[in-house]
Structure 1
Amino acid sequence: MASLAGHFSAFIVLFPTGLRRLLCSSSLYLENPSQYRSKTWYFSEPRWKNFDLYTLIIALPVASFSEFFIFLSFTGNPTYKFAFFQNSFVLFFFWVLILLIIFRENVDPLRINEGFIFVFVGVSFLVEYTVIGKGITGLGGTVYDLLGALTLVCTACCFYLSIRPWTFFAEFLLCSGLIFKGTWMLQTGLSLYTDSFALKGCHKISVPPATGDTDLRCDLEEDGLRGVALMKLMFIGHAIGVLVLSFVLFGFLSRNRKSRHGEAGGPLLAELDSQTVVMRASSELELE
């Protein structure tokens, strides 16, 4: 991840995934709040609309292979190799997660408990947390610490949903956290790995963090302190922007039924409606 390309790749995965998940979960919740249950993935009909999920099946192992083998051939530094091995291991965890989701949805003999998958997601985020910003100190370390905090929020939401999947607030927080991670990943890549968007008085990170403790090279100590304050302010700005986006989207869906997306209008909703009818019928029989 020690490059602008790596951070941009994370952005184009996390941001659309979080936004789509927020759209589908909010649609499902608004259709029937009393019957809402969070899902590990919101499949669409027809199946080709899930191209983002199936793209990850190809992209994640390719990225893992690149981390572990291609970059391995450009350096003989064992510490550098170990860091790329850690990154590839994280990608492998999320690749296994995608396979578990698909198996649970399509393969009857391998019906996997959804709570277990949420636990696995939480563990994957914890593994990711252990390698975020590894070897980067000072101003760069502060930026990655904020990213690590977002990862821990996503971890907590996944563990909570594994126990109480009907809690929409945890789902809403998880979706917003994924969107936030995506935008902050992009901001981190621009601020730390480019000269064009670098902080005033500081230069981009040019040494791979796996070769030892690395930080942004600033001309003056005051430039570094000002950079820390600015990045924290930008983090708050990102948080406000993501929160406003999430609430605006939820409000828009609540007022426009036709704009709702995903399984909110598909077989899951029909199943929930049928369950509601059965419950009402049984209640009427009891009253009689």
Structure 2
Amino acid sequence: MASPAAHVTAFLFLFPTGLCRLFRSSSLYLQNPSLYASKSCYLSNPKYKNLHLYILCIALPIASFSEFFLFLTLSAHPTYTFSLFHQCLSLFFFWVLLILFISREFLDPSAINDGLLFVYAAIAFLVEYSAIGKGVAHFGVGGVVYDLLGKLTLVCAGCCFVLSLKPASFWADFVLSCGLVFKGTWVLQAGLNLYTDVFGFKGCRKITVLPSRDSADVVCDLKEDGLRGVALVNLLFVVHAILILVLGLVVFGLLSSYKNLRCDEASGPLLAELNSESIRMLAGHADLEIE
């Protein structure tokens, strides 16, 4: 996360993933709310449509090794080597998670339980949380930006734990989906505001290593500029939250109003299974009423 390119790449992964999950989970829920059960990963059929996941399975370990060899020159700064270790570990956890998702499609789905995958995803988010903002001064503009990103990561981890215990909780899945979208947009916002001078805050320059300590932060000319930057960060976070909430409600409203917009995840064998289960339940209720 030490360059605008890294933040843009994270946005290109998180935003589409969260939006796709929002569409698919909402589509599945609207088909039959009473029998809804969240899935750890909504993959497309045929399998070649999941090309982005296959690419990530190659890209994540490459990114981890690249960071390791790139920042070996910073071994004189213990803070950065500690941060590097956490970032590589976080990438490794998500790489293993992707492997499990893909393996589940080629193996018997019952061999890898969705509940266990949600628990593992929650652990991966917690590992990511431990790596966010390492090497950045806590009380500066950069520290506030990454602190808010860390809170979003904790929300995602909490939703995964809830879904591991109660897969029928659609709202936990809804918050998880919106949280991934939110993380994507906020990572992009952080990359633009912290690592570029064009989109930086007034009176502040892009994030740099502070000469007096082994940490980095946005350098502002005046104390008032730094305080204004922190206030703008909090305002931007609220604006992002409102826009993401509106986006989620609009998506859910459109899918509930127009059935043809729903994703194919809710129109294949899974839907047939849900419909047959519904028929059996209705038949059971009818038998009880007759008796």
- TM-score tier, shorter chain, comes to over 0.9
| Contact kept? 1:42, 1:262, Cα under 8 Å | no
Shift of 1:109: 8.9
User: AA paired with 2:67?
Assistant: E
Q: Which residue of 1 aligns with 2:76?
A: 77
Between 56-65 and 229-238, report the one with greater CA deviation.
56-65
Listed one character per residue, the Cα deviations across residues 179-204 of structure 1 (whole Å, up to 9, x for unaligned) are: 00000000001000000001000000
Supply the distance in 2 between the matched residues of 1:108 and 1:45 (Cα, whole angstroms). 16
Residue 273 (str. 1) matches residue 275 (str. 2)? yes
Cα deviation, 1:10-34, whole Å, max 9, x if unaligned, reads 1000000000000000001111111
For 2:155 and 2:243, how far apart are their aligned partners in 1?
A: 17
Structure 2 partner of 1:125: 125
> Are the aligned partners of 1:2 and 1:208 in contact in 2 as well (CA < 8 Å)?
no
Alignment partner of 1:174 is 2:164: no
C-alpha separation between the residues in 2 aligned to 1:271 and 1:176? 27
Aligned length: 286
Please say if residues 204 and 221 of structure 2, whose CA atoms lie closer than 8 Å, have aligned partners that are also in contact: yes
What is the CA RMSD across the aligned residues, in angstroms?
Answer: 1.8
Are positions 1:258 and 2:260 aligned together? yes
Amino acid at match of 2:231: A
Q: Which residue of 174, 186, 189 maps to 1:187? A: 189
Deviation string, structure 1 residues 145-187 (Cα, Å, up to 9, x no partner): 1111101111110000000010111000000000000000000
- Greater shift in the superposed pair: 102-111 or 220-229: 102-111
Check whether the contact 1:191–1:197 (CA below 8 A) recurs between aligned residues.
Answer: yes
Which SS does the other structure have where 1:134 is aligned?
Answer: coil
Q: 1:53 to 1:160 in 2, by over 3 A?
A: same
- The residue that corresponds to 1:144 in the other structure is 146
Q: For residue 233 of structure 1, what is the amino acid of its counterpart?
A: L
Amino acid at match of 2:116: F
Q: State the AA in 2 paired with 1:93.
A: F
Change (3 A) 1:109 1:268: closer
CA distance in structure 1 between the aligned counterparts of 2:111 and 2:171, rounded to whole angstroms: 27
Distance 1:262 1:148 in 2: 33
Distance 2:168 2:176 in 1: 13
Q: How far has the Cα of 1:262 moved from its partner? A: 3.4
User: Which is worse superposed, 45-54 or 16-25?
Assistant: 45-54
CA distance in structure 2 between the aligned counterparts of 1:176 and 1:109, rounded to whole angstroms? 26
**1:70 Cα shift?**
3.7
In the aligned structure 1, how far is the partner of 2:167 from the partner of 2:33? 13
* TM-score after normalising by structure 2: 0.93
Note the 1:190-269 alignment, pairs <5 A. 190-207=192-209, 212-269=214-271
Q: Distance in 2 between matches of 1:86 and 1:163?
A: 28
Query: Quick one: structure 1 residues 208 and 22, their matched pair in 2 at CA, closer, same or farther if it must change by over 3 Å?
Result: farther
Could you tell me how far apart the structure 1 residues matched to 2:210 and 2:48 are? 39
Question: Compared with structure 1, are the counterparts of its residues 195 and 225 closer, same or farther at alpha carbon in structure 2 (3 Å cutoff)?
Answer: same
Q: Which moved more, 1:80-89 or 1:228-237?
A: 80-89
| Residues 109 and 30 of structure 1: CA distance in aligned 2, closer, same or farther (over 3 Å) | closer
Render the CA deviation track for 1:64-93: whole Å, top value 9, x for unaligned. Answer: 121223433x44435233322221110000
Q: Distance in 2 between the 1:106 and 1:58 partners?
A: 18
Tell me the equivalent position of 2:91.
91
8 A contact 1:115–1:161 mirrored in 2: yes
Residue 113 of structure 2 corresponds to which residue in structure 1?
113
CA–CA distance in structure 1, aligned partners of residues 109 and 236 of structure 2: 48
Q: Give me the whole-angstrom Cα distance separating, in 1, the residues matched to 2:82 and 2:55.
A: 27
- Report the TM-score, using the length of structure 1 for normalisation: 0.94
Alpha-carbon separation, structure 2, partners of 1:82 and 1:147:
19
Shift of 1:40: 0.6
Counterpart CA distance in 1 for 2:24 and 2:146 is 30
Structure 1 unaligned spans of 5+? none
